Amino acid sequence: MTERPTVPWQFGAPALDQTTRFASALRRLVGLATSLEEESPVLEELIRTLEVAEARVSAIAPAETAPRVGPEINLAGRVYLDHARHIGAFNPCFPLYEIQVDGDAATGAITFPLAYEGPPGFVHGGFVAVFFDCVIQHHNCDVGRAGKTTSLVVTYRRPTPLDRPLSFAIRRTEEGGRINSTASLTNAGRVLCEAEMTAVASDRDNLPGVSPRRINDAL
């Protein structure tokens, strides 16, 4: 029987509200930009705006990109954001999804936007694998027992369509210091792909220290 910790797993700082808003806007813009039929002065203006913004943000961002975790906790690195759940909320390279956890079972929904296209009208298989890793580890973290992924095997049954509400389900077991999860992604009841993942069942007391966000720090 899986031990039930009192609190969900968490490791790192929450993202800033501006960071989540930026990620959402950038994800939408990528989809719109890739759908254009020809070069546009609107997009050219946006590119120039982003280039100026990159320079301005670089001036206030930490010069050292290593996260302040473990031995680096007191050094001049960057804040480490919590990757336990909903990474896509602050990083548009990861997908957004909804999930409901009920002990060793979890269910949820996802719609992949155009930014994740591979074959025409379908999701790139690599993003499907990233999705499974995210939701399975989210499940583990909410249960309160998680750790590094040691293996992930994805079986593709059918192409995964873009811009369509899809459902997923996960089951997990824990034995011998390992968490074994199986998951499936479905479209209207038809299985699109399945995943089997193994992760280390770590002890949260063994986690390295992580620095909180430094307010008004000039790095």
pLDDT in tens, 128-160: 999 999 999 999 999 988 889 999 999 999 999
More confident residue, 218 or 99: 99
For the stretch 158-189, what's the b/e string if a residue is b when 16 or more beta carbons lie within 10 angstroms of its beta carbon?
ebbebeeebbbebebebeeeebbbebbbbeee
Angle at the Cα of 21 from the Cα atoms of 114 and 160, rounded to 5 degrees: 25
Q: What's the pLDDT at 216?
A: 56
Q: What's the pLDDT at 208?
A: 87
Domains of the chain (ranges, CATH numbers): 17-206 (3.10.129.10)
- Lowest-confidence segment of 36-45, 98-107, 205-214 by average pLDDT: 205-214
pTM of this structure: 0.90
pLDDT in tens, 118-129: 999 999 999 999
* CA dist., res. 146 & res. 122, Å (int): 31
Residues 81, 90 contacting (CB under 8 angstroms)? yes
pLDDT confidence of 207, banded at 50, 70, 90? confident
